[in-house]
Amino acid sequence: MTDANCLAAEPLIAVRCPACGNDTSITGTQKYECRRCGQTLDPREHRIAILAEREAAMMRRINARQARAFLVALANIKGMPYGLVFLPASPEDLAFQYRESFSPAMDNYQEAKWLVNHKLFRQFFPPNFPDSWLARSCGGSEEQKQAASLAQIVTARNYLHLAWKATDSDERAWRIRALREFARQITIHPSASSTSLTASLQIGPPPKDAFQQALLYFQSHGSLARRCLNPDCRQTPYFLAEKPNQKYCNERCSEVARNAAKKLWWKRHGTAWRKSRSKASARMKPHGKR
């Protein structure tokens, strides 16, 4: 039997591209690339059955309450840095960018780690995260890989802040689109390459996983995005209003603001008010008998 006949007899394996979702069949011994985005396909890691199970877990529909809770939690996590990281042309450029921009110290990402592991928000992140596309692209120790993945969450917060502060719907839509593209870096299969990731974003919008659903909710309800007017707010300085005229994230901050306003009024007008009250009281006193 010739080599060609052996190849023809080799069974085909149904696989799915982890970057663009294109389905195809390949053999188990040769190297193949996705015809749509150029992603290298692995007959073991990219079997349709395996990726379909992953997608089913990530594509569950969320409701408005879940979207609001996740957006507020993401907007209010703390951690450095406060800059943005853009999608580079190669994994080497990406690794350099993250090494220059982010500290590998895990202390910077404790709240991001809390968000990822919280039972209410786990569905917004891929299974096995922080095993991510970025972690595999950057390399390094396990701690450095984990820090790189969690740094993406902090960067997503930075993108969300820009959308939160947008002054009109056009700017908000623009900011959300940038965030949706960046969020795809977080949720894409960890085996994807930077080239196929870029190509998949040029083909069309990201799949509507839970993270993307939350961002689409914000795009529709971004007019309710507020920053608490209590300058000392430490709980949820970024919040989504329940009513159009809401200015404070909760009743406690509202009460603090009212008390501060009263103190300021008394500081400015208290002395004059007391004098006017004293004069009024003197005029109201009854005259003695003659």
Judgement on whether residues 18 and 78 belong to the same structural domain of the protein: no
The residues that bridge with 15 in the sheet, in sequence order, are: 24, 47
Q: Assign 142 a pLDDT band (cuts: 50, 70, 90).
A: confident
Judgement on whether residues 160 and 196 belong to the same structural domain of the protein: yes
For residue 32, being part of any structural domain is answered with yes
pLDDT of 88 strictly over 90: no
pLDDT of 269 strictly over 80: no
Judgement on whether residues 88 and 225 belong to the same structural domain of the protein: yes
Distance between CA atoms of residues 198 and 182, nearest Å: 11
**Number of structural domains the chain divides into:** 2
Judgement on whether residues 109 and 166 belong to the same structural domain of the protein: yes
For residue 261, being part of any structural domain is answered with no
Average pLDDT of span 227-246: 91
More confident residue, 86 or 124: 124
For residue 285, being part of any structural domain is answered with no
> What is the per-residue pLDDT across 10-25, written as a single tens digit (0 to 9) for each?
789 999 999 999 999 9
pLDDT of 59 strictly over 90: yes
Q: Torsion over CA of 198, 199, 202 and 204, rounded to 10 degrees?
A: -110
Domain final residue pick, 225, 240, 255: 240
Backbone angles phi, psi at 39, to 5 degrees: -65, 135
Boundaries of domain holding 33: 3-50
Percentage of the chain lying above the pLDDT 70 cut: 76
For residue 25, being part of any structural domain is answered with yes
Q: Are β-strands 13-16 and 32-33 bridged in parallel, bridged antiparallel, or unpaired? A: unpaired
Judgement on whether residues 112 and 236 belong to the same structural domain of the protein: yes
Judgement on whether residues 205 and 119 belong to the same structural domain of the protein: yes
> What is the per-residue pLDDT across 197-210, written as a single tens digit (0 to 9) for each?
888 888 999 999 99
In whole angstroms, how far apart are CA 283 and each of 62, 274, 286?
A: 68, 14, 8
pLDDT of residue 73: 97
Does this model's pTM top 0.85?
no
Domain final residue pick, 222, 240, 258: 240
For residue 257, being part of any structural domain is answered with no
* In contact, 137 and 94? CB cutoff 8 Å: yes
More confident residue, 220 or 102: 220
pLDDT of residue 221: 94
Candidate from 14-28, 56-70, 174-188, 243-257 with smallest mean pLDDT: 243-257
Residue 240: strand, helix, or coil: strand
Judgement on whether residues 64 and 204 belong to the same structural domain of the protein: yes
Judgement on whether residues 159 and 213 belong to the same structural domain of the protein: yes
Candidate from 78-92, 111-125, 173-187, 245-259 with smallest mean pLDDT: 78-92
Q: Torsion over CA of 33, 36, 39 and 41, rounded to 10 degrees?
A: -50
pLDDT of 69 strictly over 60: yes
Distance from the first to the final alpha carbon of the chain: 138
Judgement on whether residues 7 and 149 belong to the same structural domain of the protein: no
The b-or-e profile of 210-248 (16+ CB within 10 A means b, else e) is bbbbbbebbbeebeebbbbebeebeebbbbbeeeeebeb
pLDDT of residue 3: 47
Residue 15: strand, helix, or coil: strand
Give the angle subtended at the CA of 125 by the CAs of 121 and 130, to the nearest 5°: 115
Residue 13: strand, helix, or coil: strand
pLDDT of residue 223: 92
Mean confidence (pLDDT) of the chain: 83
Judgement on whether residues 85 and 11 belong to the same structural domain of the protein: no
pLDDT of 132 strictly over 80: yes
Average pLDDT of span 15-40: 90
Distance between CA atoms of residues 230 and 77, nearest Å: 18
For residue 250, being part of any structural domain is answered with no
Judgement on whether residues 23 and 135 belong to the same structural domain of the protein: no
Please name the residue that has the structure tokens 């696989």.
15
For residue 173, being part of any structural domain is answered with yes
pLDDT of residue 234: 86
pLDDT of 141 strictly over 90: no
Judgement on whether residues 127 and 217 belong to the same structural domain of the protein: yes
* In contact, 240 and 224? CB cutoff 8 Å: yes
